[in-house]
A and B are shown apart, each in its own frame.
Chain A
Amino acid sequence: MSRSLVVGSFENGEDILSAARAARVAGLTIVDTYTPYAVHGLDTAMGLAPSRLSWVCLVAGLTGAILKLWFEWWTAVVDWPVNVGGKPDNSLPAFVPITFEVMVLFAGLATVGALFAVARLWPGRRRPALVPRTTDDRFALVIEQTSAEETTARVRALFEEHRAVAVTEHVDEGRTCGRGQTAMKALNVVLALALLAAIGANAALDRDPAVPARDYLPEMAYSLAAESYAADPAFGSGGVLQVPPDGTIARGASPLHYLATPADALRAGLELSAPPIDQQALRRGATLFQTFCAICHGDTGVGNGPVVARGFPPPVSLLAPHARDMKDGQIFHVLTYGQLNMPPYASQIDAVDRWRIVAYVRQLQGSQQP
């Protein structure tokens, strides 16, 4: 659809403003204006409705804020909660700063993107100017010529009344698509299809878990993963699991300076005393007794465990006066170093648990008669 346009050029903002106002009063159709700067009041004079871009800003900002807040909550509460300094998983106040930043980011970029879209601004776009120098110091008012020759004369008169420096006539052929633009559109379609194909292929192709992921800019040296009991390739002697040097003490352990002799057992009875034991520790002692001791000593401690039933020499009853007279520390020594047929349990039961067993044995002795 082609239309005829009458274009008036002006030298300053006040002239085009008054001309536009007069044109509106005269009932003429203002197609557009072209000015080197935003002439204040010209939008009202042209009768432009308030822009709805502020809604884009609001909606995009809210979307950004909600998405980010949800994402922070989801990562910190649902997907992988990590205890950071005892703070609750859902630390809402701490999520606010990033939520704000993302809100601003979304709102700003979406508003500008919407401006480019509705104002049809894009990189490389070329639009021949109806009047030269409208980006420098000229102001152009474009009026559509609706019907008769008579209109042109009226428009010309109006323009000249408002000190127009030039009046020209143009025919607008409507929007046409040049060859370059068609090529660009085709290229865009091809690129979009290629992107979709790449995404689809990535989703559809199987990933082989046996193939290690490609590592770029490796950050760490990869150590050889040797089996614990295999021969050691580095030391040559012994296995991968080396024997600790003499006198090594495990972390948290305290050394006991006793020998596995009856004399030292008596000494331990005088020197060592049981730590305070609560109900929970006593229950733990019961469990341990059932696990380690009852196979020989029996559930009640009289010495009739399942191993004894199959022919192993029976231990002395824990309820016998000899056992009742033992000091706590002596029983601890027996558990630690063994006695007669009983092997040492130090490597299997740690010191804290051995004291709990001692406490449970004391409870057994208290609850039953020999």
Chain B
Amino acid sequence: MAEAMPTRMRLPLIDGDKSLAQVTRDVCAPLDRRAGFPWWAAFLLSFSALGVGLVAIGYQMVTGVGVWGENNSVGWAFDITNFVFWIGIGHAGTLISAILFLLRQRWRTSVNRAAEAMTLFAVMCAGIFPIIHVGRPWVAYWLLPYPNFRGSLWINFRSPLAWDAFAISTYFVISATFWYVGLIPDLATIRDRLAPGLRQRIVSFFSLGWDGSGRTWHRYELVYLLLAGLGTPLVLSVHTIVSWDFATSVLPGWHATIFPPYFVAGAIFSGMAMVLTLMIISRAVLDLRDYITSRHIDVMCKLVIATSGMVGLAYITEFFTAAYSGNTYEQFAFLNRAFGPFAWAYWTMVSCNVLIPQVLWFRAVRRRVSAVLVVALLVNVGMWFERFVIIVTSLHRGFLPASWTGYAPTIVEVATLVGSFGLFFTAFLLFCRFIPVIAMAEVKGAMAADRHERSGVSA
């Protein structure tokens, strides 16, 4: 493998000058001790939210999609907003695990495990919405081409919705594989320190008999690099394809060539905000402040500013394109966005995504973890509204004034969104209890390389 390009952080990767055994102990500590009150409180809350969502989905499945607030003009609304929101969240995990790996950003080792787990859970949440959106979720498998007794009647491979089905399922499978491959050495570490028992047997089963052999590491590193190389174009393709769901239509506000980069930047922006949210909370709760240091938060804040700028530029570009095109319908769509009935949603989006993140230019704000948390939460709100604005404001006033209408979500739709958050946090909390949140083997390797560089010893 090519020699690593050293990207120096001026300060050490992790705090406290830990020994290898200490890393193992610290990271495994939350797994060893019994869950405390905060965990149980958070788990019960998330699990109840999940329950609410399941009831809502069950009710919707029994009754039909008429229980939603959607109508003939606004045929995509809450569900597709939530779908794009969640799938975007997932992208930061792959950015950290694959793209930053290729860029040799060593700081990623402290957060990549949790960020990848976040990707998986976010894609799971995202997957719910198109499936219930089809109205008859039990035949959602019709999205895939399989030999059937209708002809065989195949799916339409020219449709972005078919592309979507393939992109999302591939993304989930490859993300899960990437995550699991990264997890195997750590599972072996846990296996070797657990007392014999059920838990040890389960962990042992999934650790695949990993023994840290040099020959295996040699191949493993190559495979990890290959997966990162595959994951990088994959993650870009996924949100590109999601944006094509809109961009290949002829609707003003959707039909824009800027959509793929705009969506990808927005996805990474929202995902980074979610990573920050999760990391800030879990480093405090799991006592991992030495591993996820304020420097990690600082770097992620800078990524948030950068992507916020890209998203802001995209907003401006959309208006410029509309003005410059001379197309009345295009111009109306954007004026309606900013000053129409959903102007409040538009300006919420602009404030949360473009204006508020600018405070992160100040080091003092980046250093103040609580302030960063507030900004990250607001960015999540803003990015949810971005998708809402794109979908609902474009649809509710189309070409034909006769079919202009409004849209308001029903309680069932809100409950489904709450349920998706419940699923996300329930899964994340279980992950924190049973799987090391930090990739121990990677942190140990990065520490060694870090120490090596800092001591100035030539290889």
Contact = CB atoms under 8 A, between A and B. Distances in A.
A229 interface: no
A123 B206 CA distance: 6
Contacts of A134: 211-212
Contacts of B237: 97, 100-101, 104
Interface-centre pick from A51, A82, A102 (highest chain B CB count, 10 A): A51
Contacts of A108: 173-174, 177-178, 227, 230-231
Interface stretch (A110-118, A252-260, A293-301, A312-320): A110-118
Nearest to A130: B211
Contact of B213 (A32, A87, A101, A107): A32
B189 A38 contact: no
Interface string A111-145: 11001101111111111010011111100000000
Contacts of B192: 129, 132-133, 135-136
A112 B211 contact: no
B432 interface: no
B145 A71 contact: yes
B208 A125 contact: yes
A121 B184 contact: yes
A33 B213 CA distance: 5
A285 to B, nearest CB: 40
Interface string A80-114: 10101001000100110110111011011101100
Contacts of A135: 185, 188-189, 191-192, 210-212
Main secondary structure of the interface of B (DSSP, over half): helix
Interface-centre pick from B19, B213, B234 (highest chain A CB count, 10 A): B213
Contact of A136 (B20, B209, B223): B20
Nearest to B204: A126
Interface in B161-182: 162-163, 166-167, 170, 173-174, 177-178, 181
Interface string B222-244: 11001100110110010001001
B24 A46 contact: no
B209 A36 contact: no
Given A51-B222, A98-B162, A121-B208, A36 B156 contact: no
Interface residues of A, number: 68
Contacts of B226: 53-54, 57, 107, 111
B420 to A, nearest CB: 24
Contacts of B149: 213
Contacts of B159: 84
Interface string B345-377: 000000000000000000000000000000000
B153 interface: yes
Nearest to A71: B145
A38 B441 contact: yes
Contacts of B216: 119, 121
B208 A43 contact: no
Interface in B1-43: 4, 19-21, 24
Interface string A140-179: 0000000000000000000000000000000000000000
Contacts of A12: 20, 448
A75 interface: yes
Contacts of A101: 163, 166-167, 170, 234, 237
Contact of B170 (A37, A102, A121): A102
A102 B174 CA distance: 11
A40 B216 CA distance: 13
Contacts of B214: 32-35, 39, 42-43, 46, 48
Contact of A76 (B157, B170, B215): B157
A13 B166 contact: no
A79 B154 contact: yes
Contacts of A136: 20-21, 24, 189, 192-193
Interface string B133-169: 0001011000001000101111011111011001100
B253 to A, nearest CB: 21
A278 interface: no
B211 A129 contact: yes
A127 B20 contact: no
Contacts of B138: 217
B441 A36 contact: yes
Interface of A: 12-14, 32-43, 46, 48, 51, 53-54, 57, 61, 71-72, 75-76, 79-80, 82, 84, 87, 91, 94-95, 97-98, 100-102, 104-105, 107-109, 111-112, 115-116, 118-127, 129, 132-137, 213, 217, 219
Given A104-B174, A119-B216, A123-B205, 7 more contacts: A40-B4, A54-B226, A84-B158, A91-B158, A101-B163, A125-B209, A135-B212
The 8 closest A-B pairs by CB, nearest first: A125-B209, A33-B214, A137-B20, A121-B208, A37-B445, A75-B154, A94-B158, A43-B218
19 contacts: A35-B214, A39-B448, A41-B459, A46-B215, A48-B215, A54-B226, A57-B230, A91-B158, A98-B162, A104-B237, A119-B216, A119-B220, A120-B209, A124-B209, A134-B211, A135-B188, A136-B189, A137-B19, A137-B24
